[in-house]
Structure 1
């Protein structure tokens, strides 16, 4: 397969622009571009939106990458067409509506860049909504064989046109090669990584905090809640009951002393030192802990299902309960699960896969069919109508269209 050496013969380095809109997508974008070779000219942008990261989130998302310590340009969505001009590859590392907007602008460029997208972490369950927002793309990156099968099966079931390929890469912040080995060290710290969407119910979240506090009282371990954002700060998904708010309420109600738990934000990598165990309901942080050789506990008390975003951990050997948490029991993953889920051997580097698309873009060989463009215009029109028109007028328009 051709690699970076061929880029020089083409006259210049390949140019890739990643567009993000939230802290988790920005972290993914920076880590992905960090893994590309010297044949790439890299640029990361943020689209101005309500999800725009705070300064602290920016520092955490860019830590350890080429963007560390540098300002990330913030651009209005209306300027995307001009700022993306000259790119060979556009990586839409953004939530669905923004990814669709990015592709809509980039698709009208001449020459047209390759349009690539991905989700920033565990992407099971695969959803039709995720594919629909990114339907104009040339490639959709998954991060495990299980994810690739799930999205490929879904695309076939939805009868989507085959122009968009489902690729397999590895999450860019997983560094073990090919699989992690458990690190043997006395347990000193337990880190809880919240997930904004699950569990949904307030009492379930309170139960987690109480179990963490019970562990701290029983064991004397440092027990820390590593937040993605403080209550009220923007993040990719809305959190109805932030854990820091709930903890303050427990302390005020004298249901907790207050000293049992520490709360922090910042880079997850800073938390993953030897002697640490990870606990979560469903979070990509669990994969980062596994990657570092640390023991992990995936809480199953609230269900193991697609709705709880943790079905992917079935068969991992990492599932346990709040009782396990109180007792300080943590686990290492089953080798068979690792091979199929995020810790596979990457035979072809992502940079080589993207280079193929960059060459095709430079040669003018990437074409969007009229059917795909028309379908995307109809979809965007429907979305605008739903948000702008009163309900009676929307019903009338839909009736007329039918």
Structure 2
């Protein structure tokens, strides 16, 4: 299902609209459209939702792109059809239910725009749920050869007709294989992941290891948060690291001065003489891209459930003991080729232009069967949100 197409020559100016709903998806949308270049007419929208980014998150997501310093329009889901009118390509850069909502509204536009979606970071393991929400799409963007294989195999098993496009994460700037920067360390940045590790004790252990490194080495140690405790983000974080740190300070388990907490663009933290530690996050790839040493913590397991299976064989896996000792690593070259640092022979802009031309020619259709399935799934999502559990159970029984 992976596509390989000849790059089209110079052509008309196409219009792409990206729709996001959270901070990580907004960052992906802005970076993706930035990479397409000014030859495209580009627009980014936010769907009004509980995940809507704060002003600080908006600024961080747009930093360094054409969207920097510009307001991002916020639209209710019910107005998406009119907001997307005139687009040649619609990029659903949003969580599954919102991406499906975007496609349902866009599918009613004549001529129908091309419907494209992607996840904002590492997309391994490929999941049925993620592809099912995006089943109306013409194409799904994968970010590596490994992701392309996994998504293609799953799409075929699910009998989905959408194509899987092999691209690169738009945050990665190296032309091909990044070269390690060999300089003495001055700082360490820890990049949390909202979903893993899930347990409070595991997260406290990470904070204590960070504090131990700070005390032993004298390095500046920072925790780069995606959001402060209580602020919205793509995934719910049950035990925010800044809250746990405050509790450790209050309990006098740490002195309090060992760590610094910050938010803002990740790129501002990934400067020479810095190492990055994480359990599983796209920030590890950004650090590799910048030539910085990385440590992916394996203490809590290496598995699809821990969202770090993709780093198996990378040479980046290590432990909290490695972290305390200040041991960080550079990736294995063979792993780089298959995972996120491949050579991009056909730019994403050229691939999307093919779909834009088909859209303008009215050659893109919607499967009535898939549209009906998406509408049924959307109804179930709304019922689960609005109805008490006994009423929801009764409605589902009646529908069956």
Give the TM interval when normalised to the shorter protein. Answer: over 0.9
**Structure 1 portions without partners, runs of 5+:** 8-12
TM-score of the aligned structures, taking structure 2 as reference length: 0.96
Alignment correspondent of 2:24: 24
1:111 paired with 2:111, answer yes
Quick check: 1:281–1:310 contact (8 Å CA) kept in 2?
A: yes
Q: Is the 8 A contact 1:21 1:47 kept in 2?
A: yes
1:38 and 1:209 map into 2 onto residues whose CA distance is 43
The residue aligned with 1:10 is none
Matches of 1:78 and 1:69 in 2, distance apart? 27
CA contact (8 A) 2:178 2:289 kept: yes
**Structure 1: how far apart are the matches of 2:73 and 2:30?**
13
Indicate conservation of the 8 Å contact 1:280/1:298, yes or no. Answer: yes
Aligned to 1:74: 74
CA distance in 2: counterparts of 1:394 and 1:226, whole angstroms: 40
Q: What are the within-5 Å matches in structure 2 for residues 278-317 of structure 1?
A: 278-317=276-315
CA contact (8 A) 2:57 2:264 kept: yes
Question: How far apart, in 1, do the equivalents of 2:206 and 2:195 lie?
Answer: 14
| CA apart distance, 1:316 | 0.2
Where 1:18 maps in the other structure, the secondary structure is: strand
Counterpart contact for 1:4–1:37, Cα < 8 Å: no
Deviations 1:36-69 (A, max 9, x none): 1332100011111111111111111100000111
Pair 1:3 & 2:2 matched: no
Aligned pair partner of 1:195 in 178, 189, 193: 193
Match of 1:324 in 2: 322
**Distance in 2 between the 1:82 and 1:58 partners?**
24
CA distance in 2, matches of 1:83, 1:400: 35
Partner of 1:65: 65
What SS does the aligned partner of 1:359 have?
Answer: helix
Q: 1:180·1:290 contact (CA, 8 Å) conserved in 2?
A: yes
Where does residue 49 of structure 2 map in the other structure?
Answer: 49
Question: Hey, what does 1:84 align to over in structure 2?
Answer: 84
1:132-191 Cα offsets, whole Å, 9 max, x none, are 111110100010111111111112222x232x1111100001011111000011100000
Distance 1:92 1:330 in 2: 36
- 1:197-276 → structure 2 map (5 Å cutoff): 197-276=195-274
C-alpha distance in structure 2 between counterparts of 1:394 and 1:249, whole Å: 39
Q: Under a length normalisation based on structure 1, what TM-score does the superposition of the two structures give?
A: 0.96
Query: Within 5 A, what are the aligned runs for 1:132-143?
Result: 132-143=132-143
**Alignment partners' CA distance in 1, 2:394 and 2:242:** 46
Shift in Å at residue 319 of structure 1? 0.2
CA distance in 1, matches of 2:397, 2:72: 45
Distance in 2 separating the partners of 1:311 and 1:396: 40
Q: Pick which of 122-131 and 385-394 moved more.
A: 385-394
Partner Cα separation in structure 2 for residue 224 and residue 66 of structure 1: 29
Question: 2:333 aligns to what?
Answer: 335
Cα shift readout 1:302-345 (whole Å, capped 9, x = no counterpart): 00011110000000000000000000000000001001100000
* Secondary structure class of the residue paired with 1:192: strand
**Following the alignment from structure 1 to structure 2, what is the Cα–Cα distance between the partners of residues 174 and 79?**
34
What secondary structure sits across from 1:286 in the alignment?
helix
1:97 matched to 2:133: no
Contact persistence 1:4–1:39 (CA under 8 A):
no
Is 30-39 or 63-72 further displaced after alignment? 30-39
Per the alignment, do residues 263 and 394 of structure 1 end up closer, same or farther by CA in structure 2, a change over 3 Å counting? closer
List alignment gaps of at least 5 residues for structure 2.
1-5
Partners of 1:179 and 1:344 within 8 A in 2: yes
Off by >3 Å, runs of 4+ in structure 1 = 1-4, 384-402
Aligned to 2:3: none
